[in-house]
Chains A and B, each alone.
Chain A
Amino acid sequence: MSVIASIRARDVAELPGKRDEDWRWTDLRGLIREAPEPSRPYSGDLPAGPFAGLAAEEVVIANGEGGAHVDVLPAQTRRLALRFVSQGDGGHAARASIAVEAGGTLVLLESYEGQGGYLGHAGLAISVGTGATLERIVLADDSGDGVTVSQAEVHLEPGARFVQTVLTSGARRQRLETHVRHPGGHAELRLDGVYLLSGKRHADLTTVVTHEGLDGATTQLAKGVVRDQARGVFQGRIVVAEGADRTDARMGHHALILSDRAEVDAKPELEIYADDVACAHGNTVGALDDEALFYARQRGIPEAEARALLTEAFVGEVIDRIGDEAARDVARAWVAGRLAGEG
């Protein structure tokens, strides 16, 4: 079952669907009845991306054309904007590989942008060496008619640092998936996410972390706000393999549902096969706190403004964890814009 194979072979039977346990909330098989034609090359001028001006290097992969092979050498510090752009109603798949060698530093500003009813796939292979740092910030502003699947395979060396924040407004159907092999050895991993969904949009944040060695740390905080008939999916799995002792894993997922017809499906999973592991997880799905809302209104803040203030603060906890200051500002502005009903 693979989205890439389905796009390449133009065979909808290859699409994952609700019979696949990991895809039961993001059913592509049931959604896409007919395999799309291959996408035509991107035409027209490319608009500026959401991280314009923040990175010296920019790589654009438009309708599956183009590719990225980025190798950050030891002691290099780089900033890269990586843009997956989709246009039209066709199908396309693209691959990128990013390696940060021992001691290197990369800020990866990745975006998904699109117009049309496309089916797009992005596959990323990421590796982070000993003493290297990769901060990956993903901003997915897909078309409401598009279907996007992004799958990243991340390989960490001991002593590596990989921190990620995925921000999405969803799509007709969208899945942003990250798999991490964690070697322990004081490698540090953070996998954060924010989904802000309205209309009939759907976003699925799926992460799988496998701790394979001693002394690994993972922290994860995902927050979502869904309104209208939107649907958010969070699947976070942390596996601590036998022998991966002294692992420290913390996972939190919290969602606000702002309408009766919106939905959030969450499956936080900690599978522990090692002894001596520090683990914590929390998962809450609920409405805005009525009492806090009344308190703010009693002080004179109009209801809509009070709701926006409290909702922004709710999401702000994740934004505050973004290390790169310029990207954090972009993220904060994006959140404020989405919550104010832009786009």
Chain B
Amino acid sequence: MLSVSNLHAAVDGKEILKGLSLEVPAGEVHAIMGPNGAGKSTLSYVLTGRDGYEVTEGSATLDGEDLLSLEPEERAAKGVFLSFQYPLEIPGVPALTFVRTALNAQRRARGEPEVTAPEFLKLVRARAGELKIDFDMLKRALNVGFSGGEKKRMEILQMAILQPRFLILDETDSGLDIDALKIVADGVNALRGPDRGMLVITHYQRLLDYIKPDRVHVLAGGRIVASGGPELALQLEREGYDRYARAA
């Protein structure tokens, strides 16, 4: 599914990713853990094509298809979804309008028919209910004045509606209390399936109690410095990142 090989990327001329390699097969959930400043968010932006993140070497493909030459919206239409560490506020655009615009744009790009307004509302009502999101909130401008936890839940709602094939969750657990964390984890787990891959970026192992990863990778100094099973997350929780920060 996702294949990243020897990826080097720079921001403002400063190299942040320094030869990162990673394979996430379809059907698997991989966790990326690492200290602050390791380059976790940078990886998520490079994979989704944000301006200013310059790839200097290496490759990233999804099902064998090069991602790095595509525009952000083309990657989205291929099914790449990023749940932002800090979701943006979109003044003046109601959440419903934003999500419907996104869904229909993706469907058009894939040559699928657009969803009608009643179909869309039915879909949103069902998903919002599962995520315990008040429907009236969706009439407000997206994320404007929302709490940190509400913004994260809105990310998951968009994910549930857009049904991406490859999910990147960047610190989706931050700012969530335990109840919200469980709701969000349920939303993510509902999307697990043989055709989907997920990259769960987190600083703490807590999230991984709820979203059980198949593999855990340690990102430090712009590279994957260790990989293992779920037990690696527990070890990191006990011992911290010091050992890897030094190794990097």
By a CB distance below 8 angstroms, the chain B residues around A295 are: 84, 87-88, 90
Which of A12-20, A182-190, A275-283, A313-321 contacts its partner? A313-321
* Distance from A9 Cβ to chain B, minimum over Cβ atoms (Å): 47
Pair B105/A298 contact, Cβ less than 8 Å: no
Cβ of A303 within 8 Å of any chain B Cβ, yes or no, is: yes
Pair B98/A296 contact, Cβ less than 8 Å: yes
Pair B73/A302 contact, Cβ less than 8 Å: yes
Pair B71/A292 contact, Cβ less than 8 Å: no
Pair A303/B90 contact, Cβ less than 8 Å: no
The secondary-structure label for the interface of chain A is helix
Cβ of A80 within 8 Å of any chain B Cβ, yes or no, is: no
A300 CA / B93 CA spacing, docked (Å): 16
Pair B90/A300 contact, Cβ less than 8 Å: no
Contact of B102 among A294, A299, A310, A312 (CB under 8 A): A299
CB-based nearest B residue for A299: B102
A-B pairs, top 8 by smallest CB distance, nearest first, are A313-B92, A300-B76, A299-B102, A300-B106, A297-B72, A295-B88, A313-B93, A297-B73
Task: Tell me which residues from 63 to 91 in chain B have a Cβ below 8 Å from any Cβ of chain A.
Answer: 71-73, 75-77, 81-82, 84, 87-91
* Distance from B121 Cβ to chain A, minimum over Cβ atoms (Å): 18
Total A-B pairs in contact (CB under 8 Å)? 79
Given contacts A295-B84, A298-B48, A300-B109, contact A314 B91 (CB under 8 A): yes
A-B contacts, 13 listed (Cβ < 8 Å): A292-B88, A292-B90, A294-B72, A295-B90, A298-B50, A298-B75, A299-B98, A299-B99, A300-B105, A301-B73, A310-B93, A313-B141, A317-B92
Using CB atoms and an 8 Å cutoff, list the residues of chain A in contact with chain B: 289-292, 294-303, 305-306, 309-310, 312-314, 316-317
Interface string of B48-68 (1 = CB under 8 A from A): 111100000000000000000
Given contacts A294-B72, A295-B87, contact A301 B101 (CB under 8 A): yes
Cβ of B198 within 8 Å of any chain A Cβ, yes or no, is: no
A294 CA / B82 CA spacing, docked (Å): 11
Pair A305/B92 contact, Cβ less than 8 Å: no
Pair A296/B51 contact, Cβ less than 8 Å: no
A175 CA / B118 CA spacing, docked (Å): 45
Given contacts A292-B90, A316-B92, contact A301 B48 (CB under 8 A): no
